[in-house]
Amino acid sequence: MFLFFYFSHLFCNFAALIVIKHSTDMPIKTTLYSLLMLLLPLTALAQKVTITASYNVREDDVLKPMETSGDFEGEAPLDVSFAPVCDGIGDHTPAYEWHFRKEGATQDLLVRYDEQTQYTFTESGAWIVTLKTRLTDIGADLDSTSIKVTISESKLEFPNAFSPNDDKINDIYRAKQPDGVKSIVEFHAYIFNRWGQKLYEWTDPYGGWDGNYKGNPVKEGVYFVLVKARGADGREYNIRKDVNLLRTYIQSETNSSSQ
């Protein structure tokens, strides 16, 4: 349909140029130049721009870089870098508009005009990132392109025991692994002994306590954890529970199996 209207417009303008040429004796070079200016926007039909998104995903406590040109999912807070990939633009001069909008919303959250841009997603839901491109030297708008970023709902669960005995298994008291923590944007945890003395605190939802106080191992026994956190979906967490520190539990199990 676009081509039909474009060529109809082109034909009418070309016919007008011919009439003007014969009626005013316009120089042929001027006529050809005007025709060329009519044809220039047609070259935009061969141009194409797509979006590349770069971000990190956590696998086995390691952040691994990812890159995609399609829709993807992640956990908040998610830092994503967006860049245009141009095909067939050649020496033309592109100008970019990045539009960020939550799916279903009627207005953009923000608009940016950089060639490349970065955004940190801190709210759950689906987000539509749209790139609009204009070739400024010929005044042609290319087809816009979009990518959808879906941020998961939050989750935060803690165990009631751990065994810091240097066997590399359950040595750190932290959120349940591998799926006990998702899309947590605010976090603060504290460890107390039975007298209410604070032994440790941390603010990384993937961090934890190694069972030490001022560099020295604490005794086996029952301790207390307090966690205050907020998810990307607005959910508030206020976790209070006992923590059983068992230094010899797995060792005893191993020794008994070897006898």
DSSP 67-101: EESS-EEE-SSEEEEEEEEEES-TT--EEEEEEEE
Q: Could you give the C-alpha distances from 26 to 11, 18, 30, in angstroms and in order?
A: 19, 9, 7
pLDDT per residue as tens, the chain (259 positions): 333 334 444 444 444 444 344 444 445 444 444 444 444 444 445 578 999 999 999 988 899 999 999 999 999 999 999 999 998 888 999 999 999 999 999 999 999 999 999 999 999 999 999 999 999 999 999 999 999 999 999 999 999 999 999 888 999 999 998 889 999 999 999 999 999 999 999 999 999 999 999 999 999 999 999 999 999 999 999 999 999 999 886 444 444 333 3
Question: pLDDT tens digit string along 126-163?
Answer: 999 999 999 999 999 999 999 999 999 999 999 999 99
Kind of pairing, strands 140-141 and 125-135? antiparallel
Q: CA 249: distance to chain centroid?
A: 41
Q: Partners of 191 in the beta sheet? A: 200, 225
Which tokens go with 212? 């030490």
Q: Are strands 236-245 and 161-162 parallel, antiparallel or unpaired?
A: parallel
Report the chain's C-alpha Rg in angstroms.
31
Nearest of 55, 102, 116 to residue 80 by alpha carbon: 55
Rounded to whole angstroms, the Cα distance separating 45 from 49 reads 11
Q: Across-strand partners of 209?
A: 173
User: In this structure, which amino acid lies at residue 234?
Assistant: G
Decide the pairing of beta strands 110-112 and 140-141: unpaired
Contacts of 76 (CB under 8 A, 6+ apart): 121, 122, 123, 124, 151, 152, 154, 183, 184, 185, 231, 232
Q: For position 231, what pLDDT does the model report?
A: 98
Helix then strand count (H, E) for the chain reads: 3, 19
